[in-house]
């Protein structure tokens, strides 16, 4: 067999075997298996309350956004992302993961959330990527336009847009919701993505992605977040509609629908104290999710190897089966 290969063939075979030998001695890290039921804190949780929109840094226990656990592999090298609500919760987890996968990241947040944003910016920079912090109120159309313009200018482009920021305030009855409250929720959760996407699209080349954070509330609404649940049903529908509209432009649109996730949304009026203490207990896993547990979903939806995935909603609800 060797004589049939000739000199060149023998040489190639030798090199091939050498590389194979070298590769066989590469150290491999064994990933530790963890029981998902016991991976993170379970209820009951301590009673706690913060003014809206709340700070992750003051929560007990503190949420895990993947600060110490997320490891990147260059899947988003050279990409440019804007994440609303990027200071805490799911937005922070996505921002950290994007940076560690090689993307430059701009985050938006409400001005009172600056202490949380000040924790995120260094994490993005430590990953060797550019970090842009843009505080402001998404209920203002002019600010939403400026947010996109500033992100595009400072990132030198934009090809990942995550519309994640949301407002949620629990009210036992529709009679307890003021028109001002209702308007604030609608503007944050529905109007802001509309304004931001309109401003961003002219800057987004083919291959870009839009990712929306929706919720299991879109399909299984709770009685005490009547207005919030409506906005998440609208979010789910805009993902599916916009995906069809933008397919010809080569822009993908998908959504992530979390179940109960431990974020400042809950401790700043998003849940009653009774619900907060038992938050996540009714899921099959018996606990709320942590933002870090959703980070890889956002990465996968943003990555170019998910190029046939558009118009879909990805759930992460601890076994509840939604969406």
Catalytic site includes residue 70: no
The residues of the chain scoring below 50 in pLDDT are: 1-25
- Whether residue 96 lies inside any domain: the answer is yes
How far apart are the C-alpha atoms of 68 and 260, rounded to whole Å?
22
- Whether residue 298 lies inside any domain: the answer is yes
pLDDT of residue 30: 76
How far apart are the C-alpha atoms of 242 and 161, rounded to whole Å?
13
- Whether residue 148 lies inside any domain: the answer is yes
How far apart are the C-alpha atoms of 3 and 179, rounded to whole Å?
87
pLDDT of residue 28: 59
Q: What is the DSSP track for 242-311?
A: HHHHHGGGT-EEEEEEE-SB-SHHIIIIIS-HHHHHTTTTTSTTSS-B-GGGTHHHHHHHHSGGGTT--S
What pLDDT, in 10s, does the model give residues 130-170? 999 999 999 999 999 999 999 999 999 999 999 999 999 99
Instruction: Please tell me the total count of domains within the chain.
Output: 1
Query: Is pTM, for the whole model, over 0.85?
Result: yes
How far apart are the C-alpha atoms of 168 and 109, rounded to whole Å?
15
| Alpha carbon of residue 28 to chain centroid | 29
Enclosing H/E stretch for 179: helix 179-186
Helices (H), 72-210: 89-100, 114-126, 141-155, 179-186, 192-200
pLDDT of residue 321: 77
Catalytic residue among 109, 226, 228, 238: 228
- Whether residue 33 lies inside any domain: the answer is no
- Whether residue 274 lies inside any domain: the answer is yes
- Whether residue 188 lies inside any domain: the answer is yes
pLDDT of residue 31: 79
Query: Domain range spanning residue 86?
Result: 69-316
The CATH number covering residue 151 comes to 3.40.50.720
The candidate with the shortest Cα–Cα distance to 188, out of 218, 227, 150, is: 227
- Whether residue 38 lies inside any domain: the answer is no
């Amino acid at each position: 067999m060797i004589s049939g290969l000739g000199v060149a063939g023998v040489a190639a075979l030798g090199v091939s075997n050498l590389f194979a030998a070298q590769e066989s001695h590469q150290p491999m890290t064994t990933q530790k298996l963890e029981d998902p039921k016991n991976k993170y804190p379970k209820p009951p949780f301590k009673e706690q309350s913060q003014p809206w929109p709340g700070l992750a840094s003051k929560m007990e226990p503190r949420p895990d956004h993947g600060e110490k656990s997320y490891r990147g592999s260059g899947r988003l090298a050279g990409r440019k992302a804007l994440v609303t609500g990027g200071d805490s919760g799911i937005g922070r987890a996505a921002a950290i993961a994007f940076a560690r996968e090689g993307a430059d990241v701009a985050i938006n947040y409400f001005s009172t959330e600056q202490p949380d944003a000040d924790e995120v910016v260094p994490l993005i920079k430590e990953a060797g990527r550019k970090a842009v912090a843009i505080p402001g109120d998404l209920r203002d159309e002019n600010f939403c336009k400026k947010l996109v313009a500033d992100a595009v200018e400072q990132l030198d482009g934009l090809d990942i847009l995550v519309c994640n920021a949301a407002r949620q305030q629990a009210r036992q009855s529709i009679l307890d919701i003021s028109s001002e409250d209702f308007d604030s929720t609608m503007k944050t959760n529905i109007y802001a993505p509309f304004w931001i996407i309109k401003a961003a699209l002219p800057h987004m080349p083919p291959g870009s992605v839009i990712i929306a954070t929706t919720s299991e509330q879109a399909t299984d609404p709770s009685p005490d977040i009547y207005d919030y649940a409506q906005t998440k049903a609208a979010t789910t529908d805009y993902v599916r509609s916009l995906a069809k509209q933008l397919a010809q432009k080569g822009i993908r649109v998908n959504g992530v629908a979390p179940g109960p996730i431990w974020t400042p949304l809950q401790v700043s009026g998003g849940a009653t104290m009774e619900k907060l203490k038992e938050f996540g207990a009714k899921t099959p896993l018996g606990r709320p999710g942590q933002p870090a547990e959703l980070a890889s979903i956002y990465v996968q939806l943003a990555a170019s190897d998910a190029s046939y995935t558009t118009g879909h909603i990805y759930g992460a609800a601890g076994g509840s089966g939604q969406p």
